[in-house]
Amino acid sequence: ATPTALMVGTGRGAQLGILIKGPEVLESTRRVDTVVLDKTGTVTTGRMELEDVYAAGDTDEKQLLRLTGALEHASEHPVARALAAGAAGRLGLGAGELPAPERFENVPGLGVRGAVDGHEVLAGRERLLAEAGVTGLEALTAAGERARAAGRTAVLVAWDGAARGVLTVADAVRETSAEAVRELRALGLEPVLLTGDNKAVADAVAERVGIAPEAVYAEVLPQDKVDVVTRLRGEGRVVAMVGDGVNDAAALAAADLGLAMGTGTDAAIEASDLTLARGDLRVAADAIRLARKTLATIK
């Protein structure tokens, strides 16, 4: 290819808000036919907020907020940030005023675990609590189901071996995401939604942006996201992946073309070929269009 034309393409990219790692990246963009979209922080804003608080049985709601907020304060995950800020707010505290956990462990794709105020606390997906052998989980089922039906992510909380409550968080689909999916489709790319979040929430987001339920991969653990990309490539597809999280880094690197949201983590940006400077998925379509145009002038 003519280096000059590629350099011009790179310069034009910068004007559009596309940061290109090297001119050769434009080449790999040409044959892309599938685009895998991470949900949280990519299709949605990732700015989650605490919505409902459900204290099961005789659980004290204030204690539920305090223990969950304190533990989640130690995590960077968008769900965790919403829970820590929301819990502190409802307790009338600043986020820094929650107690520091005596112990903290992040369980990627499932939740968090640790000790607060002398209690052994778990917060996250049902699977995290079930695998720990927590009792009384059935008391949380109805609240969890209500949340999911409303398109919210349910975080189940247990301490000292017993289920205690459910906190729900929700974030907004980016205003530009549905239009972006239309543009990507018009360019001949098949969109796929990939998330660690639950199926009902993922389906609700997919419907909002126009992705078919068959193209939704939900409840995928962080280490398995890369397998979805590898499997699609194994079917002979040329795969672009758009993501923002630490969780997405391996999948972004494994894709034929990795695109990071500029609003995302350093890990995602480093693993990607392109960065979309604004938090706007339509720029992914701009990038594909630009690459094709640039390469067409070379032919």
Q: Known catalytic residues?
A: 38
> Is 151 one of the binding residues for ligand ADP (CB under 6 A)?
no
Q: How many residues bind ligand ADP (CB under 6 A)?
A: 23
Cα gap 160→121, rounded to integer Å: 7
Give the nearest distance from C-beta 160 to Mg ion in angstroms. 32
> Is 294 one of the binding residues for ligand ADP (CB under 6 A)?
no
| Nearer of residues 61 and 203 to Mg ion, judged by Cβ | 203
Residue type, 246: V
- Binding part of the chain for ligand ADP, among 51-59, 120-128, 185-193, 258-266 by CB under 6 A, reads 120-128
Pairing relationship of beta strands 216-217 and 257-261 according to DSSP bridges:
unpaired
Q: Which does 72 bind (CB under 5 to 8 A by kind): ligand ADP, Mg ion, none?
A: ligand ADP
Residue 261 burial (C-beta neighbours within 10 Å; 0-12, 13-18, 19+): buried
Site string for Mg ion, 48-87 (x = CB under 5 A): ----------------------------------------
Pairing relationship of beta strands 103-107 and 49-55 according to DSSP bridges:
unpaired
Nearest to 212 by CA among 227, 193, 199, 232: 193
In contact, 211 and 181? CB cutoff 8 Å? yes
> Is 34 one of the binding residues for ligand ADP (CB under 6 A)?
no
In contact, 181 and 39? CB cutoff 8 Å? no
> Is 263 one of the binding residues for ligand ADP (CB under 6 A)?
no
Give the nearest distance from C-beta 47 to Mg ion in angstroms. 12
In contact, 29 and 238? CB cutoff 8 Å? no
At residue 103, the 3 state secondary structure works out as strand
Give the nearest distance from C-beta 13 to ligand ADP in angstroms. 26
- Binding part of the chain for ligand ADP, among 122-130, 132-140, 257-265, 266-274 by CB under 6 A, reads 122-130
- Binding part of the chain for ligand ADP, among 85-93, 144-152, 190-198, 229-237 by CB under 6 A, reads 190-198
* Cα atoms found within 13 Å of the Cα of residue 99, Cβ hemisphere only: 15
Among 124, 151, 245, 258, binds Mg ion (CB under 5 A): 245
> Is 41 one of the binding residues for Mg ion (CB under 5 A)?
yes
| Nearer of residues 41 and 86 to Mg ion, judged by Cβ | 41
22-44 in b/e form (b: 16+ CB < 10 A) is ebebbbbbeebebbbbbbbbbbb
Among 89, 136, 222, 262, binds ligand ADP (CB under 6 A): 222
Placement of tokens 């929301």 in the chain: 86
In contact, 1 and 291? CB cutoff 8 Å? no
Among 66, 73, 113, 125, binds ligand ADP (CB under 6 A): 125
List of residues contacting ligand ADP (CB under 6 A): 38-40, 72, 75, 77, 79-80, 109-112, 123-125, 153, 155, 195-197, 222, 245, 247
- Residues lying near Mg ion in the complex (CB under 5 A) are found at 38, 40-41, 244-245
